[in-house]
Amino acid sequence: MTKIIDNLELEVTKLKNSIHFNIKNYDKFQNFYKTIRNILGVTGDTFSMNARNIIGFNDYIKSGIFLYKHANQMFLNLSEQIRSLEAEGVGLLYIDPVDIYFIEITDDEFYFLILKTDNFLPIIDDHLEVVNPLREKNNMFFSPELKTLKSFPLSVSYKSSYYSIAMLVLIGLGKTDELKTESIKNTRLFWALERCLMKDPQNRTLLYI
């Protein structure tokens, strides 16, 4: 038995062939946790599911097994979670890879979930407030507007995290430069990523068609 997450809101435990979830504070982010349950196909605040593994995104990437199907699933899962947060007036400046976990059920059934809530911020007039300087100005998951912040407090669009989703998928595919999406050009994923990588946050959308 291994504790993956154990905080005031969520406890996730890895057992030999299963994963146990205990949502301790469902009321705080109801849409968010409801979305996690919908993605996993479960009900209740406490549930277990058969699974091969649960592993942090950074460790999973090191395995070298990140195919196009994983990229698609990651985009869809993260987009659904971000939309669920927006529905209750909460957002993220960016998505930190350490907050994402890969859950593997079978070779063809797997999920990418944000399971840490430490960095959630209230959305006020379609913006998130940045009170203090960000520690890593060159973080590749930062949106262009985050990288250019110079004085504080300031606010940025709640769509800043859309840029992170695209960059996380590209990193998974082994592409550290957003311009190298040419290798998947004309796929639905390509256009979904392009829409998230718009320089103007107002033009970004979470759309997979």
List, for residues 6-50, the tens digit of each pLDDT value.
999 999 999 999 999 999 999 999 999 999 999 999 999 999 999
CB 123 within 8 A of CB 80: no
- Region 81-110: what's the mean pLDDT? 96
Residue 67 pLDDT greater than 60, yes or no: yes
Residue 192 pLDDT greater than 90, yes or no: yes
The string of pLDDT tens digits covering residues 123-181 is 999 999 988 777 776 688 999 999 888 778 889 999 999 999 999 999 998 876 655 56
Give the pLDDT of residue 181.
61
- For 52-203, the fitting CATH number among 1.10.10.10, 1.10.3210.10, 3.40.640.10, 1.10.510.10 is 1.10.510.10
- What is the rounded CA–CA span in Å between residue 22 and residue 70? 26
Paired tokens of 187: 């796929």
- Greatest CA span in the chain, whole angstroms? 49
Give the pLDDT of residue 126.
97
Hunting for tokens 């890593």 — which residue is that?
A: 136
* Helical residues (DSSP H) of 49-159, grouped into ranges: 57-62, 68-87, 144-147
Give the pLDDT of residue 186.
85
Give the pLDDT of residue 30.
94
Give the pLDDT of residue 145.
92
- What is the rounded CA–CA span in Å between residue 141 and residue 118? 17
Sign of the C-alpha dihedral computed for residues 29, 205, 195 and 138 taken in this order: negative
Q: Is the pTM of this model over 0.85?
A: yes
- Region 111-121: what's the mean pLDDT? 95
- What is the rounded CA–CA span in Å between residue 208 and residue 82? 14
Domains of the chain by residue range: 52-203
Three-class DSSP category at 19: strand
Sign of the C-alpha dihedral computed for residues 63, 69, 73 and 79 taken in this order: positive
